[in-house]
């Protein structure tokens, strides 16, 4: 893999482009690759960071790794026979994304340091006017691949701003900060925390884990990939494809438990309970770590070292709830004050109120966030009525907690590419989905969400918005989403040919 970033693009004044893509994570990068594969060159990827990779570029905390096997968590059109482990770590995934971007010639289309601050549809010109921190541009089509787990959520804890030590969000890790010998507080017990705590616990003086809700944790079957297997993958790509298919199928079975028959998840719950009992001997600690909601309601975590780490003599699980932060300590509601040098916020992301939604405004001048005030609605997670020539990747209800997001992303790529093809073939300057299609899709999501473990599992989570609606997860088998997005549902769109006036 490369260490220097290959040459990228700059924005010159008055720049016009066919397709502007926001973000270069798996989704934006995937679209750029597919466009390059089709020989397209009239597109730009606007990236606020200084390299491709999205969440895999940003999340560099100790222990960062993916909990989906790499054979599945990678582009089907860019298989990597050389994954060193079944579950890759952040540096390996980031290297894969960089290599893939370079191999497919995407870097010359990337503008780095270009954070989109506003994008508005100019109905007269039939163009998107896009403002970025690296300059402005005009685009015929705008694709937002800005990510759902991209913007840190900072907790509203009294006194946090007065803390004299270091505060780090898990997704904004400061590699220059040495935790050795420090008294560290980790707030949160989600997927990020269960990786950070085992990685830092051996080196710190003490680690206090502030747990609001105990997660369900199952064993992690991670191991090095044998050189023989890698040789087979290199010579016989079909073998790797078969492994990928098997992993996909095994994970898809989980949907039965999450969305259809919650009882089907009971064996997984049993596995998690046994895991806890084996790894935590102390009955009091075990009780504190025992979840009180149905497994699957929040993301199921996989870890072999979380329970041992929080059981270590220098670790403490604090369940009392934080009352306030003082300059050198954290005080819990039971009145206990714990001296603290560094606070790690493993508190997740702004998922149901996406910052990018406040920056994109449609035909009537309202932003996506304003239009979505009652809940995020789309057609197929990919298009929004009133926002012509806008497509979303990893938009509302495209998330999955049990399998690879890359599968969902590739489904959407097919859809967006078909939309672009349709526009070219029919000579359309404007393509816009209808409110009726959007309403039908909202109903489909609501119906399929009914009775799912995310709504009925007795937990609160970022899967649900403030109205209690599932606006983040795809509530069904993922192959059904693929079927829905295989082609553009042309009947659900109004197209305006170049030259013609709408209405």
Residues found near ligand N01 in the complex (CB under 6 A): 65-67, 149, 155, 157, 170, 187-193, 195, 210, 212-213, 299, 346-349, 462
Nearest distance, CB of residue 501 and ligand N01, angstroms: 45
The residue (of 134 and 318) whose beta carbon lies closer to ligand N01 is 318
Question: Phi/psi of residue 429, each to 5°?
Answer: -95, -30
Task: Give dist(CA 286, CA 271) in Å, integer.
Answer: 15
Q: Nearest approach, Cβ of 410 to ligand N01 (angstroms)?
A: 18
What does each C-alpha distance from 424 to 393, 419, 429, 496 come to in angstroms? 20, 9, 8, 12
Query: How near is the Cβ of 301 to ligand N01 at its closest, in Å?
Result: 8
Quick one: 29 or 186, whose CB is closer to ligand N01?
Answer: 186
Q: Which is nearer to ligand N01, 53 or 188 (CB)?
A: 188
> What is the Cα–Cα distance from 342 to 345, expressed in whole angstroms?
10
* Min separation Cβ 189 and ligand N01, Å: 4
C-beta closer to ligand N01: residue 362 or 399: 399
Q: Tokens 């809940």 identify what position? A: 375
CB of 361 to ligand N01, least distance (A): 28
CB 26 to ligand N01: min, Å = 12
Q: Rank residues 166 and 213 by Cβ distance to ligand N01 and give the closer one.
A: 213
Q: What are phi and psi of 140, to 5 degrees?
A: -75, -40
Looking at beta carbons only, is 128 or 481 nearer to ligand N01? 481
**Are 47 and 107 a contacting pair, CB within 8 Å?**
no
Smallest distance from ligand N01 to CB 371, Å? 25
Nearer to ligand N01 (CB atom), residue 105 or residue 214: 214
Question: Helices 90-103 & 26-37, crossing angle to 10 degrees?
Answer: 20
Please count the other Cβ atoms lying within 10 Å of the Cβ belonging to residue 327: 10
For ligand N01, the closer CB: 129 or 212: 212
Helix then strand count (H, E) for the chain reads: 15, 20
Shortest Å distance, C-beta 195 to ligand N01: 6
Do residues 290 and 328 lie in contact, with contact meaning Cβ atoms separated by under 8 Å?
A: no
391-407 burial code (b ≥16 CB/10 A, e <16): bbbbbbbbbbbbbbbbb
What is the rounded end-to-end Cα distance, in angstroms, of the chain? 52
SS3 182: coil
């Amino acid at each position: 893999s490369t260490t220097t970033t290959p040459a990228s693009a700059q924005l010159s004044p008055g720049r016009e482009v066919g397709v502007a893509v926001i973000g270069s994570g798996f989704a934006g990068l995937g679209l750029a690759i597919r466009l390059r594969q089709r020989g397209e060159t009239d597109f730009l990827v606007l990236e606020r960071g200084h390299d491709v990779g999205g969440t895999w570029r940003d999340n560099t905390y100790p222990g960062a790794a993916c909990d989906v096997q790499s054979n599945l968590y990678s582009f089907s059109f860019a298989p990597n026979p050389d994954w060193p482990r079944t579950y890759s770590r952040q540096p390996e995934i980031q290297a894969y994304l960089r290599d893939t971007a370079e191999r497919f010639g995407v870097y010359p289309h990337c503008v780095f340091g270009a954070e989109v601050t506003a994008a508005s549809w100019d109905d007269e010109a039939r163009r998107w006017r896009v403002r970025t921190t690296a300059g402005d541009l005009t685009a015929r089509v705008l694709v937002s691949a800005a990510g759902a787990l991209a913007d840190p959520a900072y907790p509203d804890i009294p006194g946090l701003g007065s803390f004299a030590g270091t505060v780090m969000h898990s997704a904004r890790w400061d590699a220059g900060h040495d935790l050795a010998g420090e008294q560290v507080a980790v707030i949160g017990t989600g997927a990020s925390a269960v990786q950070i705590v085992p990685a830092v616990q051996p080196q710190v003086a003490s680690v206090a884990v502030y747990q609001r809700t105990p997660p369900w944790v199952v064993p992690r079957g991670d191991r090095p990939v044998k050189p023989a297997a890698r040789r087979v993958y290199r010579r016989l790509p079909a073998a790797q494809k078969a492994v990928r298919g098997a992993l996909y199928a095994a994970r898809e079975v989980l949907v039965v438990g999450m969305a259809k028959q919650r009882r089907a998840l009971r064996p997984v719950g049993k596995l998690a309970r046994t895991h806890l009992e084996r790894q935590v001997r102390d009955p009091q600690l075990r009780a504190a770590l025992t979840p009180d909601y149905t497994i699957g309601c929040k993301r199921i975590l996989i870890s072999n070292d979380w329970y041992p780490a929080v059981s270590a003599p220098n670790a403490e699980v604090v369940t009392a709830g934080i009352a306030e932060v003082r300059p050198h300590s954290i005080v819990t509601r039971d009145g206990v004050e714990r001296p603290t040098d560094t606070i790690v916020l493993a508190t997740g992301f702004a998922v149901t109120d996406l910052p990018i939604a406040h920056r994109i405004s449609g035909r009537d001048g309202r932003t996506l966030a304003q239009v979505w005030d009652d809940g995020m609605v789309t057609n197929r997670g990919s298009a929004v009525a009133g926002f012509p020539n806008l497509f979303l990747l990893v938009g509302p209800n495209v998330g999955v907690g049990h399998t690879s997001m890359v599968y969902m992303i590739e489904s959407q790529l097919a859809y967006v590419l078909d939309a672009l093809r349709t526009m070219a073939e029919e000579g359309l300057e404007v393509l816009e989905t209808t409110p009726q299609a959007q309403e039908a899709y909202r109903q489909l999501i609501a119906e399929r969400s009914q009775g799912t473990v995310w709504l009925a599992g007795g937990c609160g989570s970022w899967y649900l918005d403030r109205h209690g609606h599932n606006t983040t997860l795809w509530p069904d088998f993922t192959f059904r989403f693929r079927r829905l997005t295989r082609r553009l549902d042309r009947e659900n769109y109004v197209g305006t040919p170049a030259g013609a006036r709408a209405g």
